[in-house]
Chain A
Amino acid sequence: DIEMTQSPSSLSASVGDRVTITCRASESISSYLNWYQKKPGKAPKFLIYAASTLQSGVPSRFSGSGSGTDFTLTISSLQPEDFATYYCQEGYSTQLTFGGGTKVEIK
């Protein structure tokens, strides 16, 4: 099975900061990489698909990049509503594996 590794597992940042989260696949997944935002007690929110395409309605401060095995999610200017846990997920295999998550906390 493909393994998805996110780093860091958590980070502290301030409103207005630029935040970058990394996701690495154990083998090439082309651009079959999706990103989600998860807040406590809420359903995950679909942010980005195909590594870099924003889902409809997602603010443009979110962006994704990468292909093959290495991917990044960037929040250009962190807003109060962005404090959450972010998960990557590969859409290359039939097992649809998630990364372990990156918790973005308030500094």
Chain B
Amino acid sequence: QVTLKESGPVLVKPTETLTLTCTVSGFSLTDTRMGVSWIRQPPGKGLKWLAHIFSSDEKSYRTSLKTRLTISQDTSKSQVVLTMTNVDPMDTATYYCARVTGSWLTPDAFDIWGQGTVVTVSS
């Protein structure tokens, strides 16, 4: 059974760095046919893709957030980590990690999702 689980802080102060971890099971981060993405949903708003990483360690970022995001993976721990610097209350959202099919050049669909983790940015 394929599962993904997010973990991280519930509350972060403005200007701090947010670090989220996605722990996967049931598939390998070295599988060339898929990768892991981060997606978020602010309260009352829609879904926004943030970043993804594939087995080749190739990465892509949302253009508007590229300077603030870093995605990395530790295949030995089956974990994908997303860091977001200089957070703002506008970054308050539920953050999901999801398995993404395809390849780095041709990513496609998010077929399996984690349960999500709620992050609030407030002083």
Chain A: residues with CB nearer than 8 A to chain B?
1, 32, 34, 36, 38, 42-46, 49, 55, 87, 89, 91, 94-101
Mask for B71-92, Cβ within 8 A of A = 1, else 0? 0000000000000000000000
Instruction: Report the bound CA distance from A43 to B41 in whole Å.
Output: 11
Residue of B nearest to A6 (CB): B46
Instruction: Report the bound CA distance from A36 to B110 in whole Å.
Output: 9
The contact of B109 among A1, A42, A91, by CB within 8 Å, is A91
Instruction: Report the bound CA distance from A66 to B81 in whole Å.
Output: 36
Interface of A, secondary structure class, is loop
Tell me which residues across on chain B come within 8 A of A91, comparing CB atoms: 102, 106-109
Instruction: Report the bound CA distance from A46 to B47 in whole Å.
Output: 13
Instruction: Report the bound CA distance from A43 to B49 in whole Å.
Output: 14
Tell me which residues across on chain A come within 8 A of B96, comparing CB atoms: 43-44
Chain B: residues with CB nearer than 8 A to chain A?
37, 46-49, 52, 60, 62-63, 96, 98, 100-102, 104-116
Tell me which residues across on chain B come within 8 A of A38, comparing CB atoms: 47
Contact B109–A94 (Cβ < 8 Å): no
The contact of B107 among A55, A94, A100, A101, by CB within 8 Å, is A94
Tell me which residues across on chain B come within 8 A of A100, comparing CB atoms: 46
Contact B47–A98 (Cβ < 8 Å): yes
Instruction: Report the bound CA distance from A36 to B49 in whole Å.
Output: 14
Instruction: Report the bound CA distance from A55 to B115 in whole Å.
Output: 19
How many Cβ-Cβ contacts under 8 Å join chain A to chain B?
64
Shortest beta-carbon distance from A9 to chain B in Å: 10
26 contacts between A and B (CB under 8 A): A1-B63, A32-B108, A34-B108, A36-B47, A36-B110, A38-B47, A43-B96, A43-B113, A43-B115, A43-B116, A44-B47, A44-B96, A44-B110, A46-B109, A46-B110, A46-B112, A49-B108, A87-B47, A89-B109, A91-B106, A95-B49, A95-B60, A96-B49, A97-B49, A98-B46, A98-B48
Instruction: Report the bound CA distance from A95 to B49 in whole Å.
Output: 7
Residue of B nearest to A90 (CB): B108
